[in-house]
Structure 1
Amino acid sequence: MIGKVVTGKSFRGVLHYLFEGRRQESKELQMQELEKKQVEVIAYNQCFGTRLELVREMIEVAKLNPDQSKPVFHFSLSFAHSDAGKLGLQDKIDMVEKLAEKFDFKDHQYVVVAHKDTDHEHLHIVANRIGFDGKTASDSNSYKHVAEFARRMELEYKLERVLSPNKFLKPEQRVAQSQRLDNRKEALKKHLQAAIKQSKHVQQVKKYMEQRGYEVDLGRGIAFTDAQHVRFKGSQVGYALMDIEKKLKQEQQLRQHQEQNRQAQLLRQQQEELKKQQQQEKEQQQVQQYTPSIGR
């Protein structure tokens, strides 16, 4: 599971994104965006209503601490492909309640939204850092705390384990994680080597890697995310996009050379077969020429 947290200024902005998606140029496109996101609200806490009603309610409470310029907590919890179907609705609600307790907003306003617009399950939690008593939930070391929370939930709910960032680990844990990263890099390199040998262009490499469970980001560069959500740039394993294109060209030239050699060898075999056949015909003619006729 991957946990992320952002501290922000605008309830209106984040709730619009969660309920309606990115702003589009027309109403028709906005409806398509909404349909794609497949929004489902699975829990409310100390608040309720439509998107606009939630915005108004949270802004009103945030006014209890006007000196706080960033009253918004926005968490996302993303689950691995292999965890699909493991968590029931109540499991997800319980998990969010544990998150709220860890970040000290369990008595504050928050709403939990499920999205189904990607291949893996993920939840969004928008919380008011300002409580009804005017006190603010701390965002100190929030990145570290959400990573620790994700590791604890993986154990508690038997979810697929994901690596935490090195900077949040103890020295001995960093060594063990580095070994795991090395193994992942080696596996990625082997898959890429096989992909390049079987492909004629980058799009075929992308398709090959996706069939092996990698998410591929292809643009000005290339990056790969494995099933455990560990992401590597191509350059980190010696396969930047430029390197892949170069190797594809080399492989294509090698295949052309091998095909030329194969054709040349086939031609030689055909010439040898023809020469052998001609020799056999010549020998048969000589035998017929010097064989006495029957009855002479």
Structure 2
Amino acid sequence: MIGKIFPKSAGSFKNRIRYMFGCTKHDHEISGIRTIGFNTMSKDPLPGVLQGNEADLSEMIKEFDQVETLRRFSIDSDKPIKPVFHAMLSLRPGESLTTSQWRTAVQTYMADLGFDKTNQYVAVMHQDKDHQHVHIVANRIRLNDDFSMVKDSNERSISLDSVSGIEDRFNLSKAPKPKDTWGVSITHAELQASIRDNNLPLKHKMIAKIAGAIEATNQAQGDMFTFTRLLRKQKVYINLTLNEDGQPKGISFEFDGKHISGRQLKRSRLTWYKLTTQEGIHYDPETISELQDEIARTYSEEQERARTYHYEFIAVSGRRKKPIYVKFTAKDYDVQKMIQEILELLDAIFDALFKPQECRLKRNYIEFIPGTPLNIPEDEEFAL
């Protein structure tokens, strides 16, 4: 089982409740909806919804929304709050629970997170082919004398522990802990984009590269220097944040021009502390200066490789010369192949139109190395 808590929100419960009862578009197919439990005065809106009538649904939404209004009238406070809580409990494909078991699981989960009988809630099960999952929408405002709020500190950790207990109770397969897996959540939009473009999102691509470097470093019994060099081979570069003592306190990774901190990538494994303790990447504080030099060498070596070649092709038709400039970065043996392909392309495109008498490649080229002045030969035909 996997437990996921969605971002909390302010305002009405309308969108969340309509979503869970199938009244708005879903990003997955739903073959069945079942109400698991609720504690509102309004009745179960599902029968009406299935018949196209949302009257009971509107009553439930109104009842949820009224609690914040009551709190605002009773408590003189302008402090913004986010009462809308939305979570999902999801089983692995092939596993299932009865309605009674799901109700027990939901009540256990909510109690562990600090909700009680004074908190409104509604839970609905979606059957997606062979995949059961339950959406829970609850009001964090308690219907008591002081309209207190359910606290959300450490709720992610509490959620993991609660799910583990539910798995044990119903003999469900155990979901791996975040620290034991490189898996990260991916939004539906990111998934669709990766399918369309045949490419994974940048964040997931970075994690895959870093995970491979960690494994290779451990196999080689290497250290932070080894880790840095292995990452560099995959064009992933390290940036360190130092504390007042000049020692690393944070780490970020750069790939394809994008910087993401280890905490944002995967807090349970890729922070500086986790890398040097949990992941076993050895670091000697006495080597910070040498490590900084190694990290800095990343950029100078990358610039050395990133040579830009400017080639000029001249198509001559009568007295008119038509220059075509091609700029690209490649190793020398790749350059020759590319030149041949470009010549063939130019011949195919321009032969019928211009009937060039001469199409030749200049023997010279302009080589640009980032960080150095551009040295252009004094040749009119070569001028850019």
TM-score (norm: length of structure 1): 0.52
Residue 233 of structure 1, CA deviation: 4.6
Q: Which residue of 2 aligns with 1:147?
A: 160
Which one of 14, 19, 22 corresponds to residue 20 of structure 1? 22
CA distance in 1, matches of 2:17, 2:35: 11
**Contact conserved, 1:21 with 1:37, CA < 8 A, in 2?**
no
Q: Which residue of 1 aligns with 2:149?
A: 136
Q: Deviations over 1:132-153 (max 9, x none)?
A: 1111111112222212211121
CA distance in 2, matches of 1:69, 1:37: 35
**Contact conserved, 2:3 with 2:90, CA < 8 A, in 1?**
yes
CA distance in 2, matches of 1:34, 1:152: 28
CA distance in 1, matches of 2:129, 2:196: 19
The structure richer in strand per residue is 2
- Residues matched between the structures, number: 178
Partner amino acid, structure 2, of 1:148: D
- Structure showing greater relative contact order (alpha-carbon pairs closer than 8 Å, 6 or more residues apart): 1
Q: Which residue of 2 aligns with 1:45?
A: 39
Residue 120 of structure 1, CA deviation: 1.0
**Contact conserved, 1:74 with 1:127, CA < 8 A, in 2?**
yes
CA distance in 1, matches of 2:29, 2:174: 31
Residue 155 of structure 1, CA deviation: 1.6
The 5 A counterparts of 1:127-206 are 127-133=138-144, 134-166=147-179, 177=180
Give secondary structure in 2 for the equivalent of 1:75: strand
Which one of 91, 107, 110 corresponds to residue 100 of structure 1? 110
Partner amino acid, structure 2, of 1:109: Q
1:126 aligns with 2:132: no
CA distance in 2, matches of 1:131, 1:137: 7
The 5 A counterparts of 1:1-296 are 1-6=1-6, 7-9=8-10, 10-23=12-25, 36=30, 38-49=32-43, 50-66=56-72, 68-82=80-94, 84-85=95-96, 87-107=97-117, 108-133=119-144, 134-166=147-179, 177=180, 218-222=195-199, 233=204
CA distance in 2, matches of 1:36, 1:95: 21
CA distance in 2, matches of 1:149, 1:129: 18
Root mean square deviation, CA, Å: 3.3
Structure-2 change in CA distance of 1:78 and 1:63 (3 Å): same
Give secondary structure in 2 for the equivalent of 1:39: strand
Q: Which residue of 1 aligns with 2:325?
A: none
CA distance in 1, matches of 2:28, 2:60: 18
Q: Report % sequence identity.
A: 27
Give the stretch that moved more between structures: 41-50 or 4-13: 41-50
Q: Which has the larger radius of gyration?
A: 1
Residue 5 of structure 1, CA deviation: 1.2
CA distance in 1, matches of 2:167, 2:105: 11
TM-score (norm: length of structure 2): 0.41
Partner amino acid, structure 2, of 1:131: R
**Contact conserved, 2:21 with 2:33, CA < 8 A, in 1?**
yes
Ranges in structure 2 where 5+ consecutive residues have no aligned partner: 44-55, 184-193, 213-384
Give the stretch that moved more between structures: 99-108 or 42-51: 42-51
